[in-house]
Amino acid sequence: MKLRVNNKEYSVEVANNPSLLEVLRDKLDLTGTKYGCGEGACGACKVLVNGIPTPSCITPVTSVSGKKVITIEGLAENGELHPVQKVFLEEDVFQCSYCAPGMVITAAALLKKQPDASTQDLIDGLNGNICRCCTYPAIINALKKIIQ
C-alpha cells in the first residue's frame, strides 16, 4: 500500500493489516513515535492523521490510506523546530522523555486548534497523554509561555 508520511510517499508491503505504529517504526524506521501501553490509553504513540492526534498503536495501517500522517520527525518545518518543541527544550520540561513525542504532537494540534487555550483547556487537551515522571506542571507552564 501507499502511505503519505511527513510529506513523503512510501510504498510498503503490509500483511495482516498491522498497526500504523508497527509500520512507522519497523518498516519506515521512524522510531521517534513510541510504544507505551499498546491499548490507546497512554498517548506515547500519537501521530497526526489529517491533523488529528491519533494513537498509532490501535490504528490499522490500512485506515490511513490516502491520509496525511505527520510524526514527530516531520513536525519541524524548513529546519525550524515547532514552537512546542522549542519551548519544551528551552524550559527543560521532561525527565525521561519517553512521553515527549506524543506530548509534542498532541500539544501542537491543540494549539493549532485553540491558539488562545486556557490552562484548563491545556490540562483537558493533554489528558490522554501520560507522563510517568509526572512533569505535567512543567509541561503546562511551558505551553502557557507560547500562548501569552
Nearer to ligand FES, 36 or 74 (CB): 36
Distance of alpha carbon 79 from alpha carbon 64, whole angstroms = 26
By CB under 6 A, the residues from 34 to 53 that bind ligand FES are: 35-38, 40-45
CA pseudo-torsion sign 108, 110, 113, 117: negative
Nearer to ligand FES, 43 or 74 (CB): 43
Span from 1-9, 29-37, 83-91, 138-146 in contact with ligand FES (CB under 6 A): 29-37
Distance of alpha carbon 7 from alpha carbon 69, whole angstroms = 8
Nearer to ligand FES, 23 or 87 (CB): 23
Of 28, 57, 93, 117, which lies in the binding site for ligand FES, with binding defined by CB under 6 A? Answer: 57
Nearer to ligand FES, 89 or 134 (CB): 134
Cell digits of residue 4: 503519505
Distance of alpha carbon 75 from alpha carbon 78, whole angstroms = 10
φ, ψ of residue 137 to 5 degrees: the values are -60, -40
Distance of alpha carbon 117 from alpha carbon 122, whole angstroms = 6
Nearer to ligand FES, 61 or 87 (CB): 61
Per CB under 6 A, 55 contacts ligand FES: yes
Cell digits of residue 46: 500519537
CB of 147 to ligand FES, least distance (A): 26
- 3-class DSSP state of 101: helix
Residues that bind ligand FES (CB under 6 A): 35-38, 40-45, 55, 57
